[in-house]
Amino acid sequence: FFCFYTEDQILLSDCASSLAVQAYLRMCGLPVQVVCRANAEYMSPSGKIPFIHVGNQVVSELGPIVQFTRAKLYIQWCDDATAAEISRPRYSSPYSWPLSNVLAYQKQWEVRRKMNAIGWGGKTLEQVYEDVSQCCQALSQRLGTQPYFFNKQPTELDALVFGHLFTILTTRLTSTELAERVKSCSNLLSFCKRIEQTYFEDKSS
């Protein structure tokens, strides 16, 4: 299982996707070895991380939750404060100057071009936060009082939702507004805590 470099360098969207894949593999009872590489996105067959190496097969992505992915990309690269204080420094940190600056600004330009192409380039930050709130409300209603989205057993959907929500809740950004939108749904908080305790906490200690 390959992901991007270290905890203080990985971006919000990449961290969410990596955590989602880890959660699903652990739910399946499979042994997981996480390998962090500065060039992970260039090693991936789709150019996206994380990706899994099993025998001779390399598989990238698990399947995106579109609204969360778009929102996180927007906040990372289209919000000027977040891009300057967090995203560009983290993305460029494995590389030396001036390549670090070139690659960071190139990444920002690519994401902004994609946001414009899907109609998100003209959104305000508040509109993006509202999109996240609506997504959280829909997930909260679907989960209800069940431990997992399909009752007692976790599925790929649980892994994906956990990866995105837990990353939003635990990643430092220039504003806590994104995390506050998730925290407004108490059952989603309990859901994240349940998966963290069940699949990520060390039971041997």
Q: What is the CATH number of the domain that holds 75?
A: 1.20.1050.10
Q: Would residue 121 count as lying in a domain?
A: yes
Q: Would residue 99 count as lying in a domain?
A: yes
Residue ranges in the chain whose pLDDT is less than 50: 1-5, 61, 63-64
pLDDT score at 12: 66
pLDDT score at 2: 43
Q: Would residue 205 count as lying in a domain?
A: no
pLDDT score at 50: 61
| Structural domain count, the chain | 1
pLDDT score at 161: 86
pLDDT score at 63: 44
Burial of 177 (0-12, 13-18, 19+ CB in 10 A): middle
Its domain, for residue 72, covers 56-200
Q: Would residue 132 count as lying in a domain?
A: yes
Q: Would residue 26 count as lying in a domain?
A: no
The answer to whether the predicted template modeling score (pTM) of the entire model surpasses 0.85 is no
Among candidates 63, 19, 189, which has minimal Cα distance to 10?
19
Q: Would residue 47 count as lying in a domain?
A: no
Assess contact for 107 and 77: CB atoms under 8 A.
yes
Q: Would residue 39 count as lying in a domain?
A: no
